[in-house]
Chain A
Amino acid sequence: MATAIAVLAATAATPAFAASGLSPIVPNGVSPNGQAIHWLYLFISPFAAFIFLLVEGLLITIIIKYRRSRLPADYKPPQWHGNTKLEIAWTIGPALILACVGYFSFRTLQTDFVEPANAAGDVNIHIVAHRYGWDYEYSNGVKVDSEGLAAADDPMVIPANTMVRIRLDSIDVIHSFWVPDITGKTDAVPGYSNYTWMKVDQTGEWRGECAELCGPGHATMQIRVKAVTPAQYQAWLSQQKKKGSASTDSATVTPKPSPSPSPSPSPTASPTPSS
């Protein structure tokens, strides 16, 4: 009950704090996995608030009530050395709270943090991180190179309400792909692929940036994700394809698929569930 009220209150308060610099809770993601994180954060909060208020309340009570200057001059404090029942109580109490938090975290991990099965109509994007930008390679050969601060001009365009499966690689150092308003971060580690996904439930544009220090240009390694309607997405894809083939034709006659800087054999490889 208390949790439900807290959840409702916090959900109502979230937009008011968005981008204020003072948001008290994790963003409510626009993708189910981001929403699961938001829900878990809210689920933990009443416990956290309870422990916080209990302990700080006890401390303040002690400060007010048991100050020597406010006690009678002949006050003799009780010389307790312990109390087994109390000590067992405050061992088991926190353990029970943690068991709850642990259980729901594990459940969220099982449902939202494993790679969903590949279904027809899913969009597969292979993100290749490099110092200091991201290559978004779509499964049909379209490639967007988003470099540093120019991320706003070259967003990762995705269709709304569609499962977008992301495979992450890095060609140099460790990076971390993070768009806070969509979902949590996933590292791009050189040497192996990581997988994540997003299923954005609305059209819009969100910012993010690399979350793992990767060198002097780290702060410039911005991310922009733009969700559009499926029709707009198809139009954008064919436009990109045209642009891409035009540039390859005019530049050098490179065989398709164009050489990718990634260590992976083929940019069109579809992601497989991570283990």
Chain B
Amino acid sequence: MATTLAPPRPKAYDNTFWKPISLWLTTTDHKLIGIMYMVTGFLSFLVGGIFALIMRLQLSTPNGTVLTADQYNELVSSHGVTMIFFFVTVFLTGIANYFVPIMIGARDMAFPRVNLLGFWLIPVSILVYYTGFFVPGGTLSAGWTGYPPLTELEYSTGLGTDLWIFSLVIWAISGIMASTNFLTTIVALRAPGMTLTRLPLFVWAQISTSILLLLVGAPLAAAMILLEMDRRFGTHFFATTGGRPVLYQHLFWFFGHPEVYIMILPGFGMISEIIPIFSRKPIFGYGSMVAALFSIVFLSMAVWAHHMFTVGMNIYVETFFMVMTMLIAVPTGIKFFNWIATAWKGSIEFKLPMKFAFGFLATFLIGGITGIYLSSVPVDTQLHQSYYVVAHLHYVLFGGSVFTIFAGIYYWFPKVTGRFLNETLGEWNFWTMFIGFNGTFLVMHTLGLEGMPRRIYTYPGGFGEEGWGATNMFITIMSFVIAFSVLIFMINVIWSWRRGEPAGDDPWEGNTLEWATSSPPAPYNFERVPPIRSFMPLRDIRMARELQASHAAGESGGGGGESGSS
């Protein structure tokens, strides 16, 4: 393998990864910005993962002494903030930044400089947040949701809480910039022939994600600024006297629930690209896939209070939110069955992207089903704020977002680097992750069902808690299997970046435009955008070529004309 020669790469991209930092600071190339987003996101994933492992060590036995209560509360908050704001959303923005312009045949994003500014706000946001670890009083320790009055100055005196607020405001501004940019790009810069009904489903997913982030980014910033006013400027928006703590929960979850879909819809888009390619079939129900995306966008704006079924709402209000929550299962179900129908009777090649896509289908399903239990208000009063919810949300965000992100990485790595990720290491990566993930989180449901609340730094393990220790120990061991898996993945990426098997321009026989350009693409993306006659332009070209070839064969010597014109 080492003797195989890599195809020549375009000059401008040679060694850019190690070129002076000035290039990375000033580039407006959406592909380099995309890579920076992804690297930032992945580093956050590592940090957030280490936080989780330390917490698992603390919880592996009753009355653990690895961490103090304060340290645990800081880690539990930082794990959530890091994974949700700094890893999943950032990484998905990176993938979209890299591929949305190419997939619509554009040369760059609509506002390249805004794109760069939007990216650099993310490291600023991350640094502001992590500064909290080094100030007196430590960082946020009220959970990633930061409910007042616990985050009011009276109970969280440290500067860390203020830094968290500033960090999220900066993050929200960055997200609004990116969303505006994506929407403008997709509306204004589509190549000739790329009508809306010919957009790849990943681009449709990015449209719906951007609409959501645009709608809820500002409410998040508003909630954060109101909280900061309470803390430092003497207002009482969320204070007990003169204000109402539950108002914060409404504002926060008005952002927070759509945020879940911001983290999963791009993944849905990637799966909709990957399954047809590796099944050698077109996507089943393109129209209903797009309709389902927008139903999810619409419904996800009206379900936020299902995070608040225990605060003492009127039962009719609760019923409204319960019904809306249940309704979201319908478009999600449509997507699931469409994916299955796409693969049904296909000719399926279980390459690594497809393995991760199936891993996603198999696990995300469980997150969807536990979501039905949680949507039922009475049942939710038992499961809310317990380890059942922790398991559920990890099935959605790990089984959902992380598995789709890995599917996307294995799928697009050849386009970004011109090389495949190593297959053997990839297999190890997939199976250890699949086993480690299910081992960790499937078992976690049972702790919640037995009454273990989330965010407790320890448990006595005595009366009524018999067996918690053993279960927690098992979960901790399995969580280290996930860590091992991520380690294999990192080795794979570092090794394959330079030494991986050369992939060529179109290794998977893709359908969408990114496979029509070189790997890696030139800074200008396309010398000539291919003609676009459907939502699978490359498949059209391939079929036209096959048709020509069979005609030529038929004219020259007969035989083999079975794939003739219809």
Whether A66 and B346, one on each chain, are in contact in the complex, defined by CB atoms closer than 8 angstroms, is yes
Whether B467 and A81, one on each chain, are in contact in the complex, defined by CB atoms closer than 8 angstroms, is no
Q: A236 interface residue, CB < 8 Å from B? A: no
Q: B30 interface residue, CB < 8 Å from A? A: no
Whether A78 and B310, one on each chain, are in contact in the complex, defined by CB atoms closer than 8 angstroms, is no
A112 contact set on B, CB distance < 8 A: 378
In the assembled complex, the Cα of A19 lies from the Cα of B446 at a distance in Å of 10
| Pairs of residues from A and B, 9 with the lowest C-beta to C-beta distance, nearest first | A184-B381, A21-B467, A180-B451, A21-B471, A207-B464, A219-B456, A216-B69, A194-B312, A82-B285
Q: How far apart are B280's CB and chain A's nearest CB, in angstroms? A: 5
Q: With A21-B471, A77-B281, A110-B315 known to touch, is A27 a contact of B449 (CB < 8 Å)?
A: yes
Q: A214 interface residue, CB < 8 Å from B? A: yes
Q: B554 interface residue, CB < 8 Å from A? A: no
In the assembled complex, the Cα of A219 lies from the Cα of B465 at a distance in Å of 13
Extra contacts besides A71-B347, A213-B143 (4): CB < 8 Å: A52-B366, A181-B464, A184-B381, A208-B451
Q: A144 interface residue, CB < 8 Å from B? A: no
Whether A68 and B330, one on each chain, are in contact in the complex, defined by CB atoms closer than 8 angstroms, is no
Q: How many residues of B contact A (CB 8 A)?
A: 100
In the assembled complex, the Cα of A91 lies from the Cα of B332 at a distance in Å of 10
In the assembled complex, the Cα of A121 lies from the Cα of B283 at a distance in Å of 65
A219 contact set on B, CB distance < 8 A: 69, 456-459
In the assembled complex, the Cα of A114 lies from the Cα of B377 at a distance in Å of 13
List A42-91 residues whose CB lies under 8 Å from chain B: 44, 47-48, 51-52, 55-56, 58-59, 62-63, 66-68, 71, 75-83, 86-87, 90-91
Q: B286 interface residue, CB < 8 Å from A? A: yes
Q: How far apart are A54's CB and chain B's nearest CB, in angstroms? A: 10
Q: B326 interface residue, CB < 8 Å from A? A: yes
B279 contact set on A, CB distance < 8 A: 66, 77
A99, closest chain B residue (CB): B326
Contact partner of A211 among B76, B384, B466, CB < 8 A? B384
Q: A269 interface residue, CB < 8 Å from B? A: no
List A11-65 residues whose CB lies under 8 Å from chain B: 19-27, 33-34, 36-37, 40-41, 44, 47-48, 51-52, 55-56, 58-59, 62-63
Whether A37 and B379, one on each chain, are in contact in the complex, defined by CB atoms closer than 8 angstroms, is yes
Q: A157 interface residue, CB < 8 Å from B? A: no
Whether B382 and A185, one on each chain, are in contact in the complex, defined by CB atoms closer than 8 angstroms, is yes
Query: Which stretch, A122-130, A170-178, A240-248, touches the partner chain B?
Result: A170-178
Enumerate 6 A-B pairs (CB-CB under 8 Å) in ascending A order: A19-B466, A21-B450, A109-B315, A183-B382, A191-B243, A216-B69
Whether A105 and B347, one on each chain, are in contact in the complex, defined by CB atoms closer than 8 angstroms, is no
Whether A40 and B449, one on each chain, are in contact in the complex, defined by CB atoms closer than 8 angstroms, is no
Interface residues of A (CB under 8 A from B): 19-27, 33-34, 36-37, 40-41, 44, 47-48, 51-52, 55-56, 58-59, 62-63, 66-68, 71, 75-83, 86-87, 90-91, 93-95, 98, 101-102, 105-106, 108-110, 112-114, 149, 152, 172-174, 176, 178, 180-181, 183-187, 189-192, 194-195, 205-219, 222, 274-275
B323 contact set on A, CB distance < 8 A: 102
Q: B358 interface residue, CB < 8 Å from A? A: yes
B493 contact set on A, CB distance < 8 A: none
Contact partner of B150 among A23, A173, A206, A207, CB < 8 A? A173
B455 contact set on A, CB distance < 8 A: 213, 218
Whether B465 and A40, one on each chain, are in contact in the complex, defined by CB atoms closer than 8 angstroms, is no
Q: How far apart are A42's CB and chain B's nearest CB, in angstroms? A: 10
Contact partner of B379 among A40, A94, A212, CB < 8 A? A40
Q: B322 interface residue, CB < 8 Å from A? A: yes
Interface centre among A24, A66, A186 (most CB of B within 10 A): A66
Interface centre among A181, A212, A217 (most CB of B within 10 A): A212
In the assembled complex, the Cα of A76 lies from the Cα of B365 at a distance in Å of 29
A104, closest chain B residue (CB): B376
B283 contact set on A, CB distance < 8 A: 81
Whether B347 and A82, one on each chain, are in contact in the complex, defined by CB atoms closer than 8 angstroms, is no
In the assembled complex, the Cα of A219 lies from the Cα of B76 at a distance in Å of 13
B285 contact set on A, CB distance < 8 A: 81-83, 87
Whether B453 and A172, one on each chain, are in contact in the complex, defined by CB atoms closer than 8 angstroms, is no
In the assembled complex, the Cα of A206 lies from the Cα of B447 at a distance in Å of 16
In the assembled complex, the Cα of A36 lies from the Cα of B386 at a distance in Å of 19
Q: How far apart are A91's CB and chain B's nearest CB, in angstroms? A: 6
Q: B149 interface residue, CB < 8 Å from A? A: yes
Interface centre among A36, A59, A71 (most CB of B within 10 A): A59
Q: With A20-B467, A113-B377 known to touch, is A52 a contact of B369 (CB < 8 Å)?
A: yes
B336, closest chain A residue (CB): A55
Whether B373 and A41, one on each chain, are in contact in the complex, defined by CB atoms closer than 8 angstroms, is yes
In the assembled complex, the Cα of A81 lies from the Cα of B147 at a distance in Å of 47
Q: How far apart are A117's CB and chain B's nearest CB, in angstroms? A: 16
Q: How far apart are B320's CB and chain A's nearest CB, in angstroms? A: 10
In the assembled complex, the Cα of A173 lies from the Cα of B281 at a distance in Å of 56
In the assembled complex, the Cα of A40 lies from the Cα of B347 at a distance in Å of 42
Whether A213 and B142, one on each chain, are in contact in the complex, defined by CB atoms closer than 8 angstroms, is yes
Interface centre among A40, A113, A190, A191 (most CB of B within 10 A): A191
Whether A79 and B282, one on each chain, are in contact in the complex, defined by CB atoms closer than 8 angstroms, is yes
B456 contact set on A, CB distance < 8 A: 209, 218-219
List B313-359 residues whose CB lies under 8 Å from chain A: 314-315, 318-319, 322-323, 326-327, 329-330, 333-334, 336-338, 340-341, 343-350, 358
Q: With A40-B379, A77-B279, A219-B458 known to touch, is A189 a contact of B246 (CB < 8 Å)?
A: yes
In the assembled complex, the Cα of A23 lies from the Cα of B449 at a distance in Å of 6
B361 contact set on A, CB distance < 8 A: 55, 59
Whether A66 and B345, one on each chain, are in contact in the complex, defined by CB atoms closer than 8 angstroms, is yes
Interface centre among A174, A176, A214 (most CB of B within 10 A): A174
Q: How far apart are B274's CB and chain A's nearest CB, in angstroms? A: 14
B46 contact set on A, CB distance < 8 A: none
Q: How far apart are B384's CB and chain A's nearest CB, in angstroms? A: 6
